[in-house]
Amino acid sequence: MIKTNSIGTAVRQKDGPARVTGSAKYYADFIFPGMLQIRILRSPYPAADIVSIDTSAAEAVEGVEKVVTYKDIKGKNRITGLITFPTNKGDGWDRPILNDEKVFQYGDAIAIVCATSEKIAKAAAKLVKVELEQLPEYMDAPSAMAEDAMEIHPGTPNVYFEQKIVKGEETAPIMDKADVVLEGSYYVQRQPHMPIEPDVGFAFIDDDGKLNIHSKSIGLHLHAAMIAPGLGVELENLIMVQNYAGGTFGYKFSPTMEALVGAACLATGKPVFLNYTWEQQQQYTGKRSPFFTDIRLAASKDGELLGMETDWICDHGPYSEFGDLLTLRGAQFIGAGYKLENIRGLGKTVCTNHAWGSAFRGYGAPETEFGYEVMMDELAEKIGMDPFDLREKNVYRESQGTTTPTGCKPEVYCLEDIFTVGRPKYEEMKKWAAEDAAEGFKRGVGIAVGIYGSGLDGPDTAESAIELNKDGSVTLFNCWHDHGQGADIGCLGTAHETLRPLGLKPEQIHLVMNDTRNCPNGGPAGGSRSQVVIGNAIIAACRSLMDAMRKADNSYMTYDEMVAAGKELRYDGKWSAPASDCDENGQGSPFACYMYGLFMSGVEVEIATGKVQVEKMKLIADIGKINNKLAVDGQLYGGLAQGVGLALTEDFEDIKKHATMVGAGFPYIKQIPDDIELVYVETERPNGPHGASGVGELPLTTPHSSIINAIYNACGARVTHLPARPEKVLAAMKG
C-alpha cells in the first residue's frame, strides 16, 4: 500500500457526494433552453449504396432548423484511426461522419434532423427520403474472407492487416516430435458494453468562435485529432470536455456522437444536443471485436510446454480504427504467463458489416487469452495433472529468465508468489466443489491466469500540470478521463503521496480535469494506462513544483515567498514509458508495467437445463502497490461480474434481439456470485508511480476462461465458443 492514511479509507471519491445526492450532472441532465434537439436518420441495412437523399419534406416541417447530410460537412467527412500501422492495407480514413456513398453497418448515420424539440425531430426524421440499394452483407469474418466476397471498402481488401509472431525455434519439428500435441478452435463473441447511460453529449460555438464538444469521450485530445479533419475544423478551434460518464468500459475510446453533434452545430450555428436511445447505443457504438482463434500446443508428457502455433482472426466490423493494434494483442498475449520459448502464428484483421470494433475492457486479453487458458485445462486432463499444478509448473520464473511471448522479460516475476498464495484458496474451492450440490446440480471449479499490459505500446506518454495557490493549496490539471472508474481518486492519491513533504491535506489538492482548454494531454483512458502513465506525469509535475519551492534548509517556500522570489507558480510534468514497439515478428518490450491475476470460479450446473450459476469467484491479483483500496476493489468486483456476462450470456450478434439489456444478456445481481474474494500480492513496480501498476483491465482478462473450465469440471461440457448459454452447455454435456 502507498502509505497514505488519508487515502484509501478516509477519503472517498472527491465527487462522491454529488454522485449519491443526484446532483452530479451527467450529460442528459444539462437542459439548456434554445438547444436544438437531434434525431439521427440511421441505415436500416448493414450494407448498401446510397442512391439519393431527399430532405425537403423534413425541412419543411415547422420547428425543423435543418436536416444535415454529408453535403453540409466542410471537411473530409471521415473519422481517422490516427495511428494506423504502416503495414495496414487501408489508409485509416474509412469511417464516414455522415454516410455519403455507402452504408457499411446497421445504424450508420445518414442524416441529422435538428429541431426545436425532440418530438419534432423524431417526426421529421420519418420524412427524410433515402433511397438505398442493398449490397451483400458480410456479417462475420469467415463470410468476409470468402474468395468471392466483395470488398466492403472498394480498394481495400477485407483482410487488411496481418501480424506475425515469430519467437524461438521453428515449431513444426517440435510438433512432430512432442509427446502431446493438442489442437483447438475458440471463439470470443461480440460483447456489448451496455453502459446504463446511453451515449450523450452536446456541442456549441463559444464566444471565441471555437467549437466546443462535451461528451463521454475518454480520449479528448485523441478524439479531437480524429474528428477535426473530417469536420473541417482546425485543431486549435476545437475544445473538448468530459463531465460525469455513466459507464463506458471502453466504447468511448472511439468517438461516437462527437462528430455528429459537431457537424450539426457547425451546419446550424446553434447549440445542439444528442442523446442516443438505448437501442441506438447498442446498434451504433463499437463492440468487442469477435476473435476466432486456432491453437496447437506441444508439450512433454510431464507437462512442460514446448511450442505453440496460433492463428487468430479479428472481426473488426467496417471501421478500422485501432483494429491493427487490437490484432497485435494476439501476438503479445496468446500464451502469456507461461514459459513458451517457441511460437509461430499469424493474426488477421477482417472488415465485416457487423458493428465496428471499439475498445472494451481487457482489449484483446479476453479474446486472445480465452483459448489457451481452456487448452491448459485440456492438456492437464490429457497428461493426468491437476490444472493448478500444470500452470504453476510453467509460469514465468526469474530463475529461468522466462520471457513473454514478445521475447522480453516481464517487469517483475510475481506469478510464483501468486500461485503460492493461491494454492490454499484453490484447495478450499475444490473442497467446496466436492461437497454435494442440490439434487439435479453439479459443482465444479476452474482456474485461469490473466495478464495484461498497463499502457499503450511503446513510449506511451502523458503530461500533467500543477499550480500553487495563494492559500497554500495546489491545483492539479489533468486529462485523466473518467469512465466511472475513479479518475479523481487516482489523481488525488498519486499527487497526495508525492506532495507528502508539503504536508497538504487531500482537500488542499484541487482537481481540474478533462477539458482540452485547461488541461494538458494525458492520453486516452484505455489499457489501464492512466495510473501508470498519467500517474508518473503527475509525480513529475509535483516534483517540479516542490523543487522550485524547496529552500536551502529543505523546508518549502510559502506562496508569498514564491511570489517574492519571482518564481513561477505553475509547473508541467511529462513521462514516457521506457518501452519499445513490437516488430513485424511481434517481438519487443511494449509495456513498462503489467498486471497479473489468477482467477478461480466455482459453478453449479443444472443438469436438466445446462443453466450455469457462478457461486464463487476468487482473484489473486498483482497490480503492484495499491493507490486506493476501495477504488481498486470496486474495479475488480466489476470486471469479474462482466466476466460472468462474457462467459455465460452477453452478446451482440442479433442486431434486433440483442438491442435491449435483457435481450443482450445483461447479468442482474442474482447472476453475480455473492462470494467473491479478492487477494492482493503487491509486488512493487520499478516503473510504476509509487510502485503501482494499472488495474481496470485485469479482472476482465480471463474470468470467463475460469468459468468455462469450471463448467467442464462440473459436468464434462467443454464450451469453446462463447457465450455458454444453457442450450450450448446442454449440447456439450450430451457430447
Partner 1 sequence: MKRDEQQKKLIHLNVNGETISLHVEPHWTLSKVLRNDCGHTGTKEGCGEGACGSCTVLIDSVAVPACMVLAVEQQGKEIETIEGLSKDGKLHPIQEAWLEEYGSQCGFCSPGMIMSTKALLLKNTSPSDDEIKEAISGNICICSNYEHIINAVRSAAKKMKGEQC
Three-class HEC string of 314-360:
EECCCCCCCHHHHHHHHHHHCCCCECCCCEEEEEEEECCCCCCECCC
R_g of the chain computed on alpha carbons: 26
Among 101, 169, 697, 727, the one annotated catalytic: 697
Check binding of 630 to partner 1 (CB under 8 A). yes
Q: How many CB atoms lie within 10 A of CB 70?
A: 18
22 scored as a contact of partner 1 (CB under 8 A): yes
Q: Which stretch binds partner 1 (CB under 8 A): 311-319, 461-469, 553-561, 655-663?
A: 655-663
d(C-alpha 735, C-alpha 733), whole Å: 5
Dist. CA 511–CA 519, nearest whole Å: 10
Type and span of the H or E element at 428: helix 415-434
Identified binder of partner 1 from the candidate list 58, 325, 593, 640, rule CB under 8 A: 640
Query: By CB under 8 A, which span of 12-20, 167-175, 445-453, 454-462 interacts with partner 1?
Result: 12-20
Residue number with CB closer to partner 1 (31 or 434): 31
d(CA 481, CA 513): 8
Residues 224-243 close enough to bind partner 1 by CB under 8 A = none
Q: Site for partner 1 (CB under 8 A): which residue of 78, 214, 316, 483?
A: 483
State how beta strands 461-468 and 612-622 pair. unpaired
Alpha-helical runs (H) found in 199-245: 220-231
Q: How far is the CB of 516 from partner 1 (least distance, A)?
A: 22
Q: Would you call 197 a catalytic residue per the annotation? A: no
Q: Is residue 607 a contact point for partner 1 (CB under 8 A)?
A: no
| Interface with partner 1, residue 4, by CB under 8 A | no
Longest Cα pair distance anywhere in the chain, in angstroms? 82
Tell me which residue has cell 488542499.
508
Q: In this structure, what C-alpha cell is assigned to residue 667? A: 447479468
Nearer to partner 1 by Cβ, of 463 and 482: the residue is 482
User: Smaller CB distance to partner 1: residue 460 or 488?
Assistant: 488
By CB under 8 A, name the one of 196, 235, 564, 565 that touches partner 1: 196
By CB under 8 A, residue 620 contacts partner 1: no
Q: How many angstroms separate the CA atoms of 329 and 306, rounded?
A: 22
CB contact set of 554 (below 8 Å; sequence gap of 6+): none
Applying the rule CB under 8 A, the residues between 27 and 66 that interact with partner 1 are 28-29, 31, 62-63
Selected binder of partner 1 within 93, 432, 559, 666 (CB under 8 A): 666
Question: What span, in angstroms and rounded, lies between the C-alpha atoms of 135 and 598?
Answer: 46
Stretch binding partner 1 (CB under 8 A), from 22-30, 80-88, 558-566, 710-718: 22-30
Q: In whole angstroms, give the CA distance from residue 82 to residue 73.
A: 20
Given 50, 181, 194, 231, the residue binding partner 1 (CB under 8 A): 194
- Choose the stretch contacting partner 1; rule: CB under 8 A; options: 130-138, 287-295, 589-597, 666-674: 666-674
C-alpha cell of residue 457 = 505500446
Contact stretch for partner 1 (CB under 8 A) within 194-202, 321-329, 385-393, 557-565: 194-202
Interface residue with partner 1 among 3, 23, 134, 173 (CB under 8 A) is 23
Residue 126 corresponds to which cell in the numbers above?
Answer: 420519418
Residue among 579 and 614 whose Cβ is closer to partner 1: 614
Q: Which alpha helices (H) appear in 384-414, and where do they start and end?
A: 387-394
**Of 93 and 666, CB closest to partner 1:** 666
Say how many residues touch partner 1, by CB under 8 A. 56
Contact status: 197 vs partner 1 (CB under 8 A)? yes
Strand-pair partners of 468: 474
Select from 639, 81, 588, 524 the least CA-distant residue to 332.
588
DSSP 191: -
Asked if 195 touches partner 1 (CB under 8 A), the answer is yes
**What are the cell numbers at 61?**
416541417
Considering the complex, what minimum distance in angstroms separates the CB of residue 641 from partner 1?
3
Quick one: which segment of 148-156, 495-503, 577-585, 667-675 binds partner 1 (CB under 8 A)? 667-675
Question: x/- binding map, residues 64-103, to partner 1, per CB under 8 A?
Answer: ----------------------------------------
Of the candidates 597, 460, 623, 621, which has an alpha carbon nearest to the alpha carbon of residue 529?
460
Of residues 244, 341, 548, 653, which one binds partner 1 by CB under 8 A?
244
CA distance 482 to 258: 17
Instruction: For the CB of residue 118, give the shortest distance to partner 1 in the complex, in Å.
Output: 10
What's the closest the beta carbon of residue 694 comes to partner 1, in angstroms?
16
Site for partner 1 in 443-482 (CB under 8 A): 482
Which of 434, 438, 552, 662 lies at the binding interface for partner 1 (CB under 8 A)?
662
- Assign residue 194 a region: left if phi > 0, alpha if psi is -120 to 50, beta otherwise? left
CA separation for the pair 151, 468 (Å, rounded): 57
Q: How far apart are CA 1 and CA 684, in angstroms?
A: 9
Look up residue 520 and give its three cell numbers: 494538458
| Residues at the interface with partner 1 (CB under 8 A) | 12-13, 16-26, 28-29, 31, 62-63, 194-198, 244-247, 249, 277-278, 482-486, 630-631, 633-635, 637-638, 640-642, 660-662, 666-670, 672, 674, 676
Residues labelled as active-site residues: 697
